[in-house]
């Protein structure tokens, strides 16, 4: 029990730092007209959770429960940013940019679901 809590806390710390780093990198590379950082961490998180959930469900003997919780709940929970996605979408609407808001929703949903599919496929290839 304590190992799982420690793994989640450690994963959360790394996930938060990763989110911050990806956000800064995207801001420097692409500017602030579109929330690329949120899109990037959500897509990365979807890809990784697809792989980890396959590993956790099919190859559980290779990934201890505490490590699985640390990676999914901790790392990916802190890395991905659904609440930020919602806020940024509403802000785009408030700024009278409905097409950008729609693009943000579509890009996050399509890229996120595609990344989960790719992650599951990669996980199955490795297992």
Cα distances (Å, whole numbers) of residue 28 to 15, 17, 32, 35, 80: 20, 17, 9, 12, 19
Residue 77 marked in a binding site: yes
Tokens of 13: 């710390």
Across 82-101, b (16+ Cβ under 10 Å) vs e yields eebbeebbeebeeeeeeebb
- How far is it, in rounded angstroms, from Cα 26 to Cα 114? 20
Say if CB 63 and CB 1 are below 8 A apart. no
Helix (H, G, I), strand (E, B) or coil at 28: helix
- Least Cα distance to 44 among 67, 14, 7 occurs for 14
Known binding-site residue numbers? 77, 80
Known binding-site residue numbers for Na(+)? 77, 80
């Amino acid at each position: 029990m304590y190992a799982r809590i420690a793994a989640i806390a450690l994963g959360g710390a790394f996930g938060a730092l990763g989110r911050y780093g990806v956000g800064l990198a995207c801001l420097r590379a692409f500017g602030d007209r579109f929330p690329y950082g949120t899109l990037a961490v959500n897509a990365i998180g979807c890809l990784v959770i697809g792989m980890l959930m396959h590993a956790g469900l099919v190859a559980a003997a290779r990934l201890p429960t505490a490590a699985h919780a640390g990676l999914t709940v901790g790392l990916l929970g802190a890395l991905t940013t659904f609440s930020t996605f919602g806020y940024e979408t509403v802000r785009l609407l408030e700024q009278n940019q409905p097409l950008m808001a729609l693009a943000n929703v579509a890009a996050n949903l399509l890229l996120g679901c595609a990344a989960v599919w790719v992650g599951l496929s990669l996980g199955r290839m490795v297992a």
